[in-house]
Amino acid sequence: MKDIRTLSLDQLTDYFISIGDKAFRAKQVYDWLWSKNLHSFDEMTNISKPLREILEKNFVINPVSVDLMQKSKDGTIKNGVKLHDGLLVESVLIPTETRTTACVSSQVGCSLNCEFCATAKLKRMRNLEVAEIVDQVALIDRQSINYFSRPLSNIVFMGMGEPLMNYKNVVEAIRKITKPEGLGMSPRRITVSTSGIPKMIKMLADEDLKVKLALSLHTAIEKKRNEIMPFSEKFPLTEIMEALQYWYKKTGSVITFEYCVWGGINDGDEDIQALIKFCRQVPSKVNLIQYNPIGEGKFDHRSIKAEEKYVRELEKANITVMVRKSRGGDIDAACGQLANKTGEN
Ligand code: SAH
């Protein structure tokens, strides 16, 4: 049976007209589905019982469900989220003093092969549907209200998958999350994080979504990047930079570079200088992310000294740099660790 949430408002309108009902009925149902995130026809209280029964006979609503919820000592909540076909993704709620952030997945597994990321070890099984992305946000919003008495404030597409490889659904989900007739959240508090697919970055710039963009850079030295993120061979840094400049020109929104410092890999002066040179080409800032070990020995050498040097040199060069503490490490909810240790996939 068809999932009613695969229908657009226009298609839903056509449907109600085709069964001899009123066009405005579509708006009412759409509101239950996308604004109130309701998962059963039975609760649609302004729809008559006979009509609810017709809908029940003709459509399904495939909600996601929380299969396993783990709470970290630092308040981070990791959800193993079950999809209608039994596959699992992970969605994380990250509370701080001032905000609660949802870290959502865009794919089941990932097709990229970043050596340092746990998700890369999983096969990409499929893209998430629009509703599956929106459901993650709605469920974390409810958790935020339940556990922290405040609604979700930020959303980052930094869970499983590469959002720009599930482009259409991610863009449509963002529209549904931000539209007043959807969840009504602010696009400026949404960050799409990508490993860097130039063509798709440009396309996203043209959507006028008003979201923020982050690039997982990790090194601005081409050869090194190709080694630790092998897929990037197809996307030279010059092309990525050109796409980022296009992004800035179109959106006026500063780009964040996500960057882990690994002893023996990117802790040298030449690495810092390459990063500074890269940053100077487009309005940007740097997030130094604390690496979460995933059992790949090569990346396990943290160098606090090198991190400090990065901060000093970047600041000297007038580049904004932030050091991001890792959250949820004790429950494997931290970046790159979302690899379904529950073992069902
Ligand atoms: N595919 C997208 C989004 C998912 S990754 C992207 O690459 O941006 C989210 C962030 O976590 C990326 O910056 C990624 O490089 C980083 N990351 C991956 N594995 C990590 C790990 N083990 N420790 C810390 N950060 C990691």
pLDDT for 102-122, tens place per residue? 999 999 999 999 999 989 888
Predicted TM-score (pTM) of the model is: 0.95
Q: How far is CA 116 from CA 108, 260, 332, in A?
A: 18, 10, 14
Say what the pLDDT of residue 340 is.
Answer: 62
> Residues with beta carbon inside 6 Å of ligand 1?
116-117, 158, 162, 193-195, 216, 258, 260, 289, 291-292, 294, 335-336
* Choice among 53, 90, 97, 270 that is catalytic: 90
* Choice among 114, 117, 260, 335 that is catalytic: 335
Q: Which fold has domain 2-60?
A: DNA polymerase; domain 1 (1.10.150)
In angstroms, rounded to a whole number, what is the distance separating the alpha carbons of residues 56 and 46? 15
User: In this model, does residue 344 exceed pLDDT 50?
Assistant: no
**All CATH 1.10.150.530 domain ranges in the chain, comma separated:** 2-60
* Residue 162 CA, closest ligand 1 atom number: 1
Say what the pLDDT of residue 122 is.
Answer: 86
Residue nearest to atom 20 of ligand 1 (CA): 336
**pLDDT tens-digit readout, 182-208:** 899 999 999 999 999 999 999 999 999
**All CATH 3.20.20.70 domain ranges in the chain, comma separated:** 65-331
pLDDT category, 63, cuts 50, 70, 90? confident
Secondary-structure class of domain 65-331 per CATH: alpha beta
To the nearest whole number, what is the mean pLDDT of the chain? Answer: 94
Rg for the chain, CA atoms, rounded? 21
Q: Which of 103, 335, 337 to mutate to test the pocket of ligand 1 (most atoms within 8 A of CB)?
A: 335
User: In this model, does residue 289 exceed pLDDT 80?
Assistant: yes
Contact predicate 211/174, CB 8 Å: yes
